[in-house]
Amino acid sequence: MRITAITTTPVEIRYRPEYEADKRFYPKPPAQTNVIVEIHTDEGIVGIGEAAHAPGIYGENAGGTIAAIDYISPALIGLDPLGITAANMAIDRLSPVGNIAAKAGLDIALHDLAGKIMGVPVYQLLGGRVHDGVKSHITPATYEGTLTDLESLIGQGYRAFKQKMSGDLDYDVPLIEGLLDAVPEDVVLSLDVNQGWSVNETMKVISVLERRPRFPSNVILEQPIDGADIAGAARIRNATRVPLMLDDGIRTVADLGRILAAQAADIVSLKISRVGGIQRCLQMIKMAEAANVDYIVDEINEMRVANTAVAHLALASRRPLYTGVACHLLLVSDISTGGGVRIVNGEAVVDDAPGLGIEGLDLSGLIPEVVHA
């Protein structure tokens, strides 16, 4: 069997209205634009992937992803679709740096394709399922109704939350105090600053946390400062018992290596869509495990296809603290017609259908696909 063509289709879906008043630090557009990647074969089997974007943090966008796949595709046409590593090597040779979303979309599609050809779910390609379900976090809307939203999500079984911060302490500190009063101790609360504070501002928030009548042992401080400032992260980590999670600065194996070597994180957030695919993310999971650093298997503004890939990887990982596969639920609609990841009592689960298990896609009414051959 051979790869014969690769198609890309940009998909734009609006966020639910309660996210429009979102005050998160980085600029988030009212709609999410990702790219569906389909890898075709001479036997008619098609692998589906998704390239997800966060232009306000990483700079990449759908137009750039489609251009990158147009450039990379000739290196993949004619390859054996079961050769996932060889295909990734061909991608890396043509595009050694950057184009991370494009690489992730292609690698997810390669895994879906290989799973379909072999008749096994993607998690089997990753060493097999370790967990029946892994706790998923979800982001409540950052607006006046945050606490109501949170209460309803806890009622649905969620036990982990990522709360976006605004970068303005006058807004963030009262929000944090309100959240700590509302969230039970067995519910994980990550305060995700997306690099919005300085080291000194972070120290101020830490003293607010540490002065609470009871130490908030369920709170995680996520990427408070510039992702490139590893020395600053190490200073913060050494100053408090509040666990520090690093996220936005981890794009390459070298980035993660520097953080681990500097002992700058208690937890690292590892994302298929931010490191260039399932295979690269699995490599980073192994690095974190080898360094005895906790990790989460996380998402970036993904729709159901990429969220499903994250779920397969989380279920096949030894000891993820939790995962993130719920951001597709923040959008008003979905392009998949069935199958893929489900969240049951706050846990990510997948069934044993071949590949990702996405039953079909409804791409009608969208911008026409682009064929790269």
Residues at the site binding Mg ion, with contacts judged by CB under 5 A: 192, 247
Cβ atoms of residues 118 and 364 within 8 Å: no
| DSSP 3-state percent helix, strand, coil across the chain (nearest 5) | 40, 25, 40
Q: Is 344 exposed, middle or buried (0-12, 13-18, 19+ CB in 10 A)?
A: exposed
**Residue 223 Cβ vs Mg ion, minimum distance, rounded to whole Å:** 5
SS3 162: strand
Give the nearer residue to Mg ion in terms of CB position, either 192 or 302.
Answer: 192
Closer CB to Mg ion, 247 or 255, in the complex:
247
Q: Which is nearer to Mg ion, 220 or 358 (CB)?
A: 220
> Which tokens belong to 87?
């295909």
Between 38 and 247, name the residue whose CB sits nearer to Mg ion.
Answer: 247
Q: How far is the CB of 194 from Mg ion (least distance, A)?
A: 6
Q: How far is the CB of 251 from Mg ion (least distance, A)?
A: 13
Closest CB to Mg ion among 247 and 302?
247
- Pick between residue 247 and residue 334 the one whose CB is nearest to Mg ion: 247
**Cβ atoms of 120 and 308 closer than 8 Å:** no
Q: Do residues 325 and 271 touch, judged by C-beta distance below 8 A?
A: no
What is the spatial distance between Cα 337 and Cα 322, in angstroms, rounded to a whole number? 27
Per-residue buried b or exposed e for 86-123, using 16+ beta carbons within 10 Å of the residue's own CB: ebbebbeeebeeebbbbbbbbbbbbbbbbbbbeebbbb
Give the shortest CB-111-to-Mg ion separation in angstroms: 24
Do residues 359 and 349 make contact, with C-beta atoms less than 8 angstroms apart? no
Q: Measured at CB, which residue is nearest to Mg ion?
A: 247
Q: How far is the CB of 248 from Mg ion (least distance, A)?
A: 6
CB of 57 to Mg ion, least distance (A): 9
Nearest approach in angstroms of CB 25 to Mg ion is 10
Print the SS3 string covering 82-121: CCHHHHHHHHHHHCCCCCHHHHHHHHHHHHHHHHHHHCCE
Give me the least distance between CB of 190 and Mg ion, in Å please: 8
Q: By C-beta, is 48 or 57 nearer to Mg ion?
A: 57
Q: CA triplet 286, 290, 295: central angle to 5 degrees? A: 60
| Token pair listed for 352 | 């044993």
d(CA 101, CA 59): 10
Q: Which of residues 168 and 362 has its CB atom nearest to Mg ion in the complex?
A: 168
Place of tokens 């990841």: 341
- Nearer of residues 113 and 193 to Mg ion, judged by Cβ: 193
Angstrom CA distances, 111 to 108, 146, 191, 332, stand at 5, 37, 32, 27
Rounded to a whole number of angstroms, the minimum distance from the CB of residue 192 to Mg ion is 4
